[in-house]
Amino acid sequence: MVPRWTRAVVVAVALGCGTGWGGPAGARDMTGKAGLGAMASTSGMPLATLRYWGTRLAFEFLFGWVAVDRRLPAVSIDDRGLNGGTGPGLADADHVQQCQSTYDAIDPRQRPVRLQCDWRKELSVRRFAVGMLYRIGDAPRVSLAIGVRPWLQWTDRTETPSFVKTFRSSESTLPTGSSPDSLPTRWGVEVPLVAEFFLNDHASITGQLGLAVGSGALPEPSIDKATAAVDNDGWWVGLRGAWSGGAGLLYYF
Protein backbone atom coordinates (compact mmCIF):
# COMPACT_ATOMS: atom_id res chain seq x y z
CA MET A 1 0.00 0.00 0.00
CA VAL A 2 1.39 3.40 -1.03
CA PRO A 3 1.77 5.88 1.88
CA ARG A 4 -0.38 9.01 1.76
CA TRP A 5 2.57 11.40 1.65
CA THR A 6 4.02 9.54 -1.38
CA ARG A 7 0.75 9.87 -3.26
CA ALA A 8 0.58 13.56 -2.35
CA VAL A 9 4.07 14.16 -3.75
CA VAL A 10 3.22 12.31 -6.97
CA VAL A 11 0.04 14.36 -7.42
CA ALA A 12 1.89 17.61 -6.75
CA VAL A 13 4.61 16.79 -9.30
CA ALA A 14 2.00 15.76 -11.87
CA LEU A 15 0.11 18.99 -11.40
CA GLY A 16 3.32 20.98 -11.66
CA CYS A 17 4.31 19.23 -14.87
CA GLY A 18 0.83 19.72 -16.27
CA THR A 19 0.94 23.45 -15.57
CA GLY A 20 4.51 23.91 -16.76
CA TRP A 21 6.91 26.78 -16.05
CA GLY A 22 6.51 29.65 -18.43
CA GLY A 23 2.97 28.70 -19.44
CA PRO A 24 0.23 31.29 -18.94
CA ALA A 25 -2.45 28.79 -17.81
CA GLY A 26 -3.17 29.24 -14.12
CA ALA A 27 -0.36 31.76 -13.59
CA ARG A 28 -0.93 34.45 -10.96
CA ASP A 29 -1.82 37.73 -12.70
CA MET A 30 0.01 40.55 -10.87
CA THR A 31 -0.41 43.19 -13.57
CA GLY A 32 -0.88 46.65 -12.05
CA LYS A 33 -0.43 45.50 -8.43
CA ALA A 34 1.89 47.18 -5.91
CA GLY A 35 3.28 45.39 -2.88
CA LEU A 36 4.73 46.74 0.36
CA GLY A 37 6.68 44.71 2.87
CA ALA A 38 10.08 43.90 4.32
CA MET A 39 12.97 41.59 3.59
CA ALA A 40 15.60 40.05 5.85
CA SER A 41 18.95 39.51 4.13
CA THR A 42 22.10 37.57 4.83
CA SER A 43 23.93 40.89 5.22
CA GLY A 44 22.09 41.31 8.52
CA MET A 45 20.34 44.48 7.37
CA PRO A 46 16.51 44.49 7.19
CA LEU A 47 15.14 46.09 4.02
CA ALA A 48 11.77 47.76 3.52
CA THR A 49 10.51 46.79 0.07
CA LEU A 50 8.13 48.45 -2.40
CA ARG A 51 7.41 46.47 -5.58
CA TYR A 52 5.13 47.21 -8.54
CA TRP A 53 4.31 44.62 -11.20
CA GLY A 54 3.60 45.33 -14.84
CA THR A 55 2.74 42.46 -17.16
CA ARG A 56 6.03 40.60 -16.77
CA LEU A 57 8.28 43.37 -15.43
CA ALA A 58 8.40 44.55 -11.82
CA PHE A 59 10.02 47.71 -10.48
CA GLU A 60 11.14 47.91 -6.87
CA PHE A 61 12.63 50.26 -4.29
CA LEU A 62 14.40 49.00 -1.16
CA PHE A 63 15.60 50.91 1.89
CA GLY A 64 17.53 49.54 4.85
CA TRP A 65 18.92 51.04 8.05
CA VAL A 66 20.85 49.53 10.92
CA ALA A 67 22.38 51.19 13.98
CA VAL A 68 25.20 49.68 16.02
CA ASP A 69 26.10 51.03 19.47
CA ARG A 70 28.86 49.41 21.46
CA ARG A 71 31.32 50.22 24.23
CA LEU A 72 34.95 49.63 23.34
CA PRO A 73 37.47 48.02 25.72
CA ALA A 74 38.41 50.37 28.57
CA VAL A 75 41.86 51.51 29.70
CA SER A 76 42.85 52.18 33.31
CA ILE A 77 46.03 54.11 34.20
CA ASP A 78 47.49 54.95 37.63
CA ASP A 79 50.89 55.86 39.07
CA ARG A 80 51.98 52.23 38.64
CA GLY A 81 51.31 52.36 34.91
CA LEU A 82 48.82 50.81 32.55
CA ASN A 83 46.16 48.30 33.62
CA GLY A 84 44.93 46.60 30.46
CA GLY A 85 46.89 46.94 27.24
CA THR A 86 46.54 46.05 23.59
CA GLY A 87 45.58 42.64 22.29
CA PRO A 88 42.49 40.54 21.51
CA GLY A 89 39.56 41.87 23.54
CA LEU A 90 41.64 44.79 24.87
CA ALA A 91 41.92 48.43 23.89
CA ASP A 92 43.83 49.27 20.73
CA ALA A 93 47.14 51.12 20.75
CA ASP A 94 45.60 54.51 19.79
CA HIS A 95 43.23 54.44 22.74
CA VAL A 96 45.99 53.40 25.13
CA GLN A 97 48.12 56.32 23.93
CA GLN A 98 45.18 58.72 24.17
CA CYS A 99 44.47 57.69 27.76
CA GLN A 100 48.15 57.85 28.73
CA SER A 101 48.53 61.32 27.20
CA THR A 102 45.46 62.54 29.10
CA TYR A 103 46.86 61.17 32.37
CA ASP A 104 50.30 62.70 31.76
CA ALA A 105 48.74 66.10 31.03
CA ILE A 106 47.22 66.31 34.53
CA ASP A 107 49.23 68.35 37.03
CA PRO A 108 51.15 65.83 39.22
CA ARG A 109 49.96 67.70 42.32
CA GLN A 110 46.33 67.10 41.27
CA ARG A 111 46.82 63.72 39.64
CA PRO A 112 44.15 61.16 40.60
CA VAL A 113 44.76 57.71 42.01
CA ARG A 114 43.41 56.27 38.77
CA LEU A 115 42.20 57.48 35.37
CA GLN A 116 39.51 55.32 33.71
CA CYS A 117 39.13 55.81 29.94
CA ASP A 118 36.10 54.45 28.07
CA TRP A 119 34.96 54.87 24.48
CA ARG A 120 31.51 54.46 22.98
CA LYS A 121 31.25 53.95 19.22
CA GLU A 122 28.02 54.41 17.25
CA LEU A 123 27.49 53.40 13.62
CA SER A 124 24.54 54.31 11.43
CA VAL A 125 24.39 52.39 8.13
CA ARG A 126 21.83 53.23 5.43
CA ARG A 127 21.29 51.41 2.15
CA PHE A 128 19.13 52.40 -0.83
CA ALA A 129 18.46 50.17 -3.84
CA VAL A 130 16.32 50.26 -6.95
CA GLY A 131 15.65 47.24 -9.09
CA MET A 132 13.85 45.65 -11.98
CA LEU A 133 12.60 42.04 -12.13
CA TYR A 134 11.56 39.99 -15.18
CA ARG A 135 9.31 36.95 -14.70
CA ILE A 136 10.85 33.95 -16.43
CA GLY A 137 8.51 31.26 -15.09
CA ASP A 138 5.02 30.83 -13.64
CA ALA A 139 3.06 28.16 -11.82
CA PRO A 140 -0.39 28.55 -10.18
CA ARG A 141 1.01 29.95 -6.90
CA VAL A 142 4.70 30.49 -7.64
CA SER A 143 6.64 32.74 -9.99
CA LEU A 144 10.34 32.91 -10.77
CA ALA A 145 12.04 36.15 -11.83
CA ILE A 146 15.53 37.41 -12.54
CA GLY A 147 16.53 41.01 -11.99
CA VAL A 148 19.14 43.70 -11.59
CA ARG A 149 19.43 45.85 -8.46
CA PRO A 150 21.94 48.75 -8.10
CA TRP A 151 22.48 49.97 -4.52
CA LEU A 152 24.25 52.69 -2.51
CA GLN A 153 25.28 52.57 1.15
CA TRP A 154 26.24 55.44 3.49
CA THR A 155 27.77 55.02 6.93
CA ASP A 156 28.27 57.58 9.70
CA ARG A 157 30.43 56.86 12.73
CA THR A 158 30.67 58.70 16.06
CA GLU A 159 33.16 57.95 18.80
CA THR A 160 32.54 59.45 22.24
CA PRO A 161 35.22 59.14 24.96
CA SER A 162 34.55 59.26 28.70
CA PHE A 163 37.49 59.94 31.05
CA VAL A 164 36.83 59.57 34.80
CA LYS A 165 39.36 60.68 37.43
CA THR A 166 39.18 58.60 40.61
CA PHE A 167 40.52 60.12 43.82
CA ARG A 168 40.71 58.43 47.21
CA SER A 169 37.33 59.79 48.28
CA SER A 170 35.63 61.06 45.13
CA GLU A 171 35.37 60.90 41.34
CA SER A 172 35.15 63.55 38.62
CA THR A 173 34.69 63.38 34.85
CA LEU A 174 37.01 65.18 32.47
CA PRO A 175 35.22 67.16 29.73
CA THR A 176 35.33 65.31 26.40
CA GLY A 177 33.83 65.76 22.94
CA SER A 178 32.50 63.37 20.31
CA SER A 179 34.31 62.88 17.01
CA PRO A 180 31.78 62.20 14.21
CA ASP A 181 32.92 61.29 10.70
CA SER A 182 31.54 59.68 7.56
CA LEU A 183 32.99 56.53 6.06
CA PRO A 184 33.47 56.05 2.30
CA THR A 185 30.28 55.48 0.31
CA ARG A 186 29.83 51.92 -0.91
CA TRP A 187 28.01 50.97 -4.07
CA GLY A 188 27.32 47.88 -6.11
CA VAL A 189 24.92 45.87 -8.24
CA GLU A 190 23.11 42.62 -7.41
CA VAL A 191 21.65 40.21 -9.96
CA PRO A 192 19.06 38.27 -7.93
CA LEU A 193 17.04 35.19 -8.83
CA VAL A 194 13.73 35.70 -7.00
CA ALA A 195 11.11 33.04 -6.23
CA GLU A 196 7.75 34.34 -5.01
CA PHE A 197 5.12 32.11 -3.39
CA PHE A 198 1.62 33.59 -3.25
CA LEU A 199 -0.37 32.85 -0.11
CA ASN A 200 -3.43 34.50 -1.66
CA ASP A 201 -4.26 37.38 -4.02
CA HIS A 202 -2.75 39.93 -1.63
CA ALA A 203 0.19 38.32 0.15
CA SER A 204 3.37 36.52 -0.88
CA ILE A 205 6.61 35.19 0.57
CA THR A 206 9.77 35.68 -1.46
CA GLY A 207 13.23 34.17 -1.42
CA GLN A 208 16.25 35.09 -3.47
CA LEU A 209 19.84 34.20 -4.25
CA GLY A 210 22.02 36.45 -6.34
CA LEU A 211 25.47 37.42 -7.55
CA ALA A 212 26.73 40.76 -6.21
CA VAL A 213 29.46 43.07 -7.48
CA GLY A 214 30.46 46.12 -5.44
CA SER A 215 33.11 48.62 -4.47
CA GLY A 216 34.25 50.13 -1.17
CA ALA A 217 35.36 48.94 2.24
CA LEU A 218 32.79 48.01 4.86
CA PRO A 219 32.87 50.17 7.98
CA GLU A 220 33.96 48.18 11.01
CA PRO A 221 35.52 44.79 11.73
CA SER A 222 33.76 42.17 13.83
CA ILE A 223 30.65 44.13 14.84
CA ASP A 224 28.07 42.13 12.92
CA LYS A 225 27.35 40.92 9.41
CA ALA A 226 25.93 44.25 8.35
CA THR A 227 29.15 46.04 9.27
CA ALA A 228 31.84 43.38 8.82
CA ALA A 229 35.00 44.72 7.22
CA VAL A 230 37.29 43.89 4.36
CA ASP A 231 40.95 44.82 4.54
CA ASN A 232 40.77 47.86 2.27
CA ASP A 233 38.82 49.64 -0.41
CA GLY A 234 38.51 47.83 -3.72
CA TRP A 235 36.40 45.52 -5.83
CA TRP A 236 34.80 42.39 -4.49
CA VAL A 237 32.60 39.71 -5.99
CA GLY A 238 30.59 37.22 -3.96
CA LEU A 239 27.44 35.16 -3.75
CA ARG A 240 24.72 36.76 -1.67
CA GLY A 241 21.52 35.23 -0.46
CA ALA A 242 18.40 36.87 0.88
CA TRP A 243 15.15 35.53 2.19
CA SER A 244 11.87 36.81 3.45
CA GLY A 245 9.21 35.27 5.63
CA GLY A 246 7.29 36.42 8.65
CA ALA A 247 8.48 40.02 8.72
CA GLY A 248 9.49 39.46 5.11
CA LEU A 249 5.90 39.24 3.92
CA LEU A 250 4.86 41.33 0.91
CA TYR A 251 1.30 42.67 0.84
CA TYR A 252 -0.21 43.63 -2.53
CA PHE A 253 -2.88 46.29 -2.83
pLDDT value for 20: 41
Per-residue pLDDT tens digits for 80-110: 877 766 655 678 888 889 999 999 999 988 8
Residue 6 placed within a domain: no
Contact 156, 123 (CB under 8 A): yes
Domains contained in the chain, number: 1
Q: Which of 139-143, 205-209, 227-231 has the lowest mean pLDDT?
A: 227-231
Residue 205 placed within a domain: yes
pLDDT value for 212: 78
Residue 18 placed within a domain: no
pLDDT value for 3: 44
Residues 6 or more apart from 183 whose CB is under 8 A from it? 155, 156, 157, 217, 219
Residue 112 placed within a domain: yes
This prediction has a pTM of 0.67
Tell me which residue range forms the domain holding 197: 23-252
CB-based burial, 125-164: b 16+ in 10 Å, e otherwise: bebebebebebeebbeebbbbbbebebebebebeeebebb
pLDDT value for 234: 55
Per-residue pLDDT tens digits for 118-156: 999 888 888 899 999 999 988 888 899 999 999 888 888
Q: Which long-range contacts (CB under 8 A, 24 or more apart) does 21-24 make?
A: 21/137, 21/138, 21/139, 21/144, 22/136, 22/137, 22/138, 23/138, 24/138
Residue 110 placed within a domain: yes
3-state class (DSSP) for residue 101:
helix
Residue 225 placed within a domain: yes
